[in-house]
Amino acid sequence: MNSLKANFLNETQKMFLKSKVAACFIIAALIPIGIALLIALLHNKSGILAVGSTGFPVFILGLFTSVLLPLFIFMWAADIFAGEVGEGTLKIMLVRPITRFNIYLSKIMALSFAIILLLAVILIASLISGLLLGGSGSQYLAGLNGGIKAHILAIVPMVSLAIAAAFVAQFFKSSSGALTSSILVYIIGRFLPIVIPMTSKVLLFSYTNWHVLWLGTALAPERLLYAFLIMLSSSIILFTAGFYLFDIKQL
Amino acid sequence: MDKVLEVKGLTKLYKNNRGVRDISFDIYKGDIYGFLGPNGAGKTTVMKTIVGLCKAQQGEINISGFNTVNHFEKAMSKVGCIIETAISYEYMSAYDNLKIASRFYDGIGAKRIDEVLEMVGLISFRKDKVSSFSLGMKQRLGIAAAILSKPEFVILDEPTNGLDIEGMADVRNMLISMAKEQEITFFVSSHLAHEMELMCNRVGILNNGLLIKEGTIIDILKNHASLEEFFIEQARNSRGDLINE
């Protein structure tokens, strides 16, 4: 088998055999249901409908892309890079007939695949739980349409975050160190624009909710292209730098 | 005879200036070649550099004619190894650990996985998680992973380390029979001279990062009562050389 494909399957199998990763998927499925129940309950008691079934999937996605998804991604990336260095299990792959580049790339591919699956789980859970919020069939269909689009778009910033987390993980020999640092970098990245507003334009972390840019009635193509290019260029730079550090690692 | 491993002028020094200097040796098809030396002599460093875990400052390494820097995948395609300790994914079963390794090779499927588990005596534990294994079982699983792909060349760093007397004898007999029946060439390291004497046909003596002597066990035993005696003599001579220099 092609070594890249072989290790993509390996990394995916390894990730999904970990209870931590399974827990992330369960949390991702339960949160939309819990929030929908809460909204329905509030609606029954006070008559105020905070979010209708149309906007529900996008509303839920917004909650995930700012905090929970980055946290899950940092955790996974910390585990498959720094965690494996700490446990010594990285050696298992390094002595097989596969280049370090293919190992690095296949790990990023497995992370991306897990992100796509997780987004699918969130979408399905929020669509199902959206039924609790009532509304007409056409409202629900509009929610379905916007929801699918938003979730597909969210893949881009989340994969970029995974690449950034993989880069940070190269500096550590334990998953806890890598995870803490990724979270710290993310928090700084999110709050820096408050102090220096200019940075919001160039920092990858400012675009985690970029799906919102696409959903307004008036699309601004140049803003979308700009956001996409920032994520793409950051990803290329961080992937290359991360791979360089991975390649020179001596174990 | 066919050269399976060719090491030329290998130098690998760590920041503290320890490591190995100017190591050159060849291993031929059918050999069970042993690296004998005290702890810290550089045995693991040489092995790590051969399989790409470390990068050499100088020198060249070819496995089956393929340079390990320029043609890593080809060079490693016929190599199995355990470096330092046999490491497995603890949260996976013995079978899944081997399944992961099998994906890198064509034609290695469930049948071969069961075959190697049978060979190392772990077939009845195939579905058990490695975290529940004893040290000896982990070592045997490591050997299973190393021979899974039917490699022509197997590198084992201290394969009997941490094993009890029976475990050591088991591993030794397993290697000797695999070398004979499956024509696998072995490169093993140990700090136990007696172990090497029973297992190997050729040995290299490593001390303080230098390969001080090489020879066949038959030749060595012609003039010495044991490999241990030969080793001590060589180690003393090399210390003498250093003092004289």
pLDDT 10s digits, A164-191: 999 999 999 999 999 999 999 999 999 9
Please count the structural domains in chain A: 1
Q: The tokens of B205 are what?
A: 């003596």
Measured between CB atoms, does B104 come within 8 Å of chain A?
yes
pLDDT at A1 over 70: no
pLDDT in tens, A98-120: 999 999 999 999 999 999 999 99
B239 has a pLDDT exceeding 80: no
**Is A9 within 8 Å of chain B by CB?**
yes
Give yes or no for residue A219 having a pLDDT over 80.
no
Q: Which two tokens stand for residue B15?
A: 């920041």
Q: Is B54 on the interface with A (CB under 8 A)?
A: yes
Chains A, B: CB contacts within 8 A come to 74
Among B53, B77, B92, select the one facing A91 at the smallest CB separation: B53
Distance from CA of A27 to the nearest CA of B (A): 22
Query: Could you report the predicted ipTM of this complex, rounded to two decimals?
Result: 0.88
Q: What is the pLDDT of residue A145?
A: 81
Spell out which residues of chain A touch residue B106, defining contact as CB-CB under 8 Å. Answer: 1
Share of chain B above pLDDT 90, in %: 56
Q: What is the pLDDT of residues A124-150, one digit of tens each?
A: 999 888 877 776 777 777 778 888 989
Per-residue pLDDT, A128: 87
Q: State yes or no: pLDDT of B5 exceeds 90.
A: yes
Q: Which of A17, A18, A250 sits opposite B53 (nearest CB)?
A: A250
Torsion, Cα B65 B70 B74 B79, to 10 degrees, reads 70
Give the residue among B240, B215, B241 at the shortest CA–CA distance from B227: B215
Q: Residue B4 — very low, low, confident or very high, per pLDDT cuts 50/70/90?
A: very high
Residues in chain B closer than 8 A to A244 (CB atoms): none
Is the Cβ pair B103, A7 closer than 8 Å? yes
Distance of alpha carbon A133 from alpha carbon B122, whole angstroms: 55
Measured distance CA(A190)–CA(A32) in Å, rounded: 24
Domain span including residue A28: 3-247
Distance between CA A35 and CA B213 in Å, rounded? 73
Q: Give the burial class of B28: count Cβ atoms within 10 A of its Cβ; 0-12 exposed, 13-18 middle, 19 or more buried.
A: middle
φ/ψ of B119, rounded to 5, equals: -55, -40
Please tell me if residue B162 touches chain A, with a CB cutoff of 8 Å. Answer: no
Interface check for B77 against chain A (CB to CB < 8 A): the answer is yes
Do A62 and A212 form a contact (C-beta atoms < 8 A)? yes
Chain A residues touching B83 at Cβ < 8 A: 91, 95
In terms of CA atoms, which chain A residue is nearest residue B52? A95
**CA-based nearest distance A90→chain B, Å:** 9
What is the tens place of the pLDDT at every residue in B53-88? 999 999 999 999 999 999 999 999 989 999 888 889
Residue identified by tokens 């529900």 is A56
A13, A14, A20, A21: CA torsion to nearest 10: -40
Beta sheet of B79-82, edge-to-edge order: B79-82, B153-157, B185-190, B32-36, B202-207, B210-216
User: What is the model's pLDDT at position A246?
Assistant: 96
CB-based contact A97 B85, cutoff 8 Å:
no
Alpha helices for chain A (secondary structure H):
3-16, 19-46, 56-63, 69-78, 84-87, 90-94, 100-130, 137-169, 175-195, 199-202, 211-215, 221-247
Residue A19's CB is within 10 A of a number of other CB atoms, namely 8
**Quick check: helix, strand or coil at residue A81?**
helix
Q: Which of residues 13-42 of A touch B (CB under 8 A)?
A: 13-14, 17-18
pLDDT for res B241: 63
Judge whether B211 is closer than 8 Å to chain A, CB to CB.
no
Residue A53 has a pLDDT of 66
Tell me what pLDDT residue A91 has. 93
Q: Is B96 on the interface with A (CB under 8 A)?
A: yes
Mutate to test the interface with A, among B49, B89, B98, B143 (most CBs of A within 10 A): B89
State the nearest Cα–Cα gap between A78 and chain B, in angstroms. Answer: 16
Contact status of A251 with chain B (Cβ, < 8 Å): yes
- Confidence at residue A237, expressed as pLDDT on a 0 to 100 scale: 97
CA within 13 Å, CB half, A110: 26
